[in-house]
Chain A
Amino acid sequence: MKQSKLVFWGFQTPCLIAFSLAILLPMAMGIYYSFTDWNGIGSSAVPNGLSNYITIFTNDRQFAYSFRYTLVFSLAAVLLVNLLALGLALLVTQKFRGSNAFRSIFFLPNLIGGILVGFIWQFIFSDVFDGLGTLLKIPWLCNWLSTPQTATAGLLIVVVWQMSGYMMLICIAQIQNIPDSLLEAASIDGATRFQRFWHIKLPMLTPAFTVGIFLTLANCFKLYDQNLTLTQGGPYNSSEMLTMNIYNTAFSMNKFGQAQAKGVVYLVVVAVITLTQLFFFKRREVEL
């Protein structure tokens, strides 16, 4: 008995130490700091009750804006990413020669890090779109990153370009799980191609959407690198997402206490939204 206890803790220790240092301890400290006037420079952090939370909710328009912006952006991205992913998955699972190569191409952007992706598209949106706009005399292609609407559209394009390949893979795995006999039986019964898609494939794909939407939501809420290198939150902070707002509150304004309060709110929002979505979708999954 004693030995098994030793083994239990011994095997656990490396992970537990790293995990405590990275997440547990900072999490606990973070909750405490969110109730203090910590400024990040000195070690002093005097408790000031709820004042950080009151400030960020009542007297911080940029935070409210970033919050709404992140939410709306994530919803739009979830919709676009998953629709495109479904389309791509349906295309590459048609059995034609070379479909695997296309699968690889569509997935490739996902491997490239956010920092690089942001810079790559900065080049496309600034120089290439400008060039195309002047060449073809389409004024709205020019200065793509300097108006709020087009900058947001740009960020959305980048996210869709990067994430849909990943969700496509998840959809493909699920499509391959659908037994051929089911589809054949349906077509013998006279189901059209659309009916087979709508009544068989789509319901059987719900588990893929559960995972896909969960991951897209979580990734959009955590988006930082692309936001930083594509628009830097600009023009005029109009594309500043939550993560960047927290970073700037801490490092540009030295309001660490408030930034930490935002961090706590951010965690609660991420947890509530993703868990609600998981719960809601799990119920709709079709058992075979």
Chain B
Amino acid sequence: MQKRNSLSRQRALALTACIILAAIFLFPAFLLALNSFKTLKEIYKSVLLLPKSLNLSNYLQAFQKLDYLASIKNSLLITVGVTACATLFCPMAAWVLARSKTRKSRFLFALFSLSILVPFQCVMLPLLRVMGSLHMMNRIGLMTINLGFLCPMSILLYHGFIKNIPTDLEEAAAIDGCGPVRTFFLIVLPLLKGIGATVAILCVMSLWNDFLLPSLTINKAGLQTLPLKTYLFFGAYSKKWNLGTAALVLAVIPVVTFYAFCQKYIIKGVTEGAVKG
């Protein structure tokens, strides 16, 4: 009886601690939402008071200034396009690398794996030169480069998974006269759904939030992604926090929506990606 009591007391304590911590974690979000309905005068008067009325004009202005829908469309195009390519091309590469035991294949795999350590700023300047001289300063160019940066991590994850799949199925298919291309698409790829979801989640997260590379390559009106547009927005309206808070709420909405729908996959994906990678 006593043990049970101490157990439930421990749980109650943990719950209380969690509530307090969650309140601290969500505090910025709460203040952001609160102030996004205020006028600038009200914000100057006090950031903590409730807004006088549910005034939506900040949102309307921020919506227009952010080019909200167009920016989301631009971000989506890059995110979805590159993620689709990564989840098609990377398992292809990882499969042949895992199945072929030649020295060349081991060397290539080592090259991919080691490149995980290369930070962006180390290749940034020559990369711009390469892209400039190959006429890649456009969306397609950016997407190609994005794919290149995602290759090491994705191939490593796929490779680790494929290594542990027994080759029996593929051998049986080969005996039945199935060529390598069909074997891959009909037999191997369906087995990779789980790890594919992990890779996709990791790609989406890094692509959606990417800022520096797009800011250096596609910084043109009409092509700007959401993070880029948000940054420019604050350059123009730096101290107008009534618009700023509304813009930030708008910019956070897509991520929170995505999280609400795919929470299970996201949590599984990042945990797996971290532990295996």
Q: How large is the interface on B (under 10, 10 to 19, 20 to 34, 35 or more residues)?
A: 35 or more
Cβ contacts B9-53/A at 8 Å (1 or 0 each): 011101101100110011111011001000000010011100000
Whether B147 sits at the interface, judged by CB under 8 Å, is yes
Q: Is the CB of B144 within 8 A of A170?
A: no
Given contacts A99-B18, A115-B227, contact A15 B145 (CB under 8 A): no
Given contacts A12-B96, A96-B11, contact A105 B26 (CB under 8 A): yes
Q: Is the CB of B119 within 8 A of A95?
A: no
A225 to B144, CA, bound (A): 22
Interface set, chain A 99-124, CB cutoff 8 A to B: 99, 102-116, 119-121, 123-124
Q: How large is the interface on A (under 10, 10 to 19, 20 to 34, 35 or more residues)?
A: 35 or more
Whether A173 sits at the interface, judged by CB under 8 Å, is yes
Given contacts A20-B148, A106-B22, A120-B248, contact A243 B121 (CB under 8 A): yes
Q: Which residue of A lies closest to B24 (CB)?
A: A161
A175 to B65, CA, bound (A): 46
Q: Is the CB of B125 within 8 A of A259?
A: yes
Q: Is the CB of A27 within 8 A of B122?
A: yes
Q: Is the CB of B14 within 8 A of A91?
A: yes
**Within the complex, which residue of B11, B27, B48 is in contact with A131, where a contact is CB–CB below 8 Å?**
B48
Q: Is the interface of B mostly helix, strand, loop or mixed?
A: helix
Q: Is the CB of B230 within 8 A of A115?
A: yes
| A22: min CB distance to chain B, Å | 3
Q: Is the CB of B267 within 8 A of A103?
A: yes
Whether B209 sits at the interface, judged by CB under 8 Å, is yes
Given contacts A106-B25, A225-B211, contact A96 B148 (CB under 8 A): no
Whether A183 sits at the interface, judged by CB under 8 Å, is no
**Within the complex, which residue of A115, A127, A215, A246 is in contact with B231, where a contact is CB–CB below 8 Å?**
A115
Question: Which residues of the partner chain A approach B68 to less than 8 Å between Cβ atoms?
Answer: none
Cβ contacts A119-136/B at 8 Å (1 or 0 each): 111011001100110010
A23 to B112, CA, bound (A): 10
Given contacts A88-B21, A222-B119, contact A116 B252 (CB under 8 A): yes
5 tightest Cβ-Cβ pairs between the two chains A and B = A22-B148, A113-B209, A18-B148, A26-B123, A29-B126
The contact sample of 14 A-B pairs, CB cut-off 8 A, is A4-B180, A8-B100, A11-B96, A16-B93, A91-B17, A111-B266, A116-B230, A116-B251, A120-B29, A121-B28, A161-B25, A170-B275, A263-B124, A264-B122
> Measuring CB to CB, which residues of chain A are less than 8 angstroms from any residue of chain B?
3-4, 7-8, 11-12, 14-27, 29-30, 33, 40, 88, 91-92, 94-96, 98-99, 102-116, 119-121, 123-124, 127-128, 131-132, 135, 161, 166, 169-170, 172-173, 207, 211, 215, 218, 221-222, 224-225, 229, 242-243, 246-247, 250, 256, 259-260, 263-264, 266-267, 270-271, 274-275
> Measuring CB to CB, which residues of chain B are less than 8 angstroms from any residue of chain A?
10-12, 14-15, 17-18, 21-22, 25-29, 31-32, 35, 43, 46-48, 85, 89-90, 92-93, 95-97, 100, 105, 108, 111-112, 115, 117-127, 129-131, 134, 136, 144-149, 151-152, 155, 180-181, 184, 205, 208-212, 227, 230-231, 234, 241, 244-245, 248, 251-252, 255-256, 258-259, 263, 266-267, 270-271, 274-275
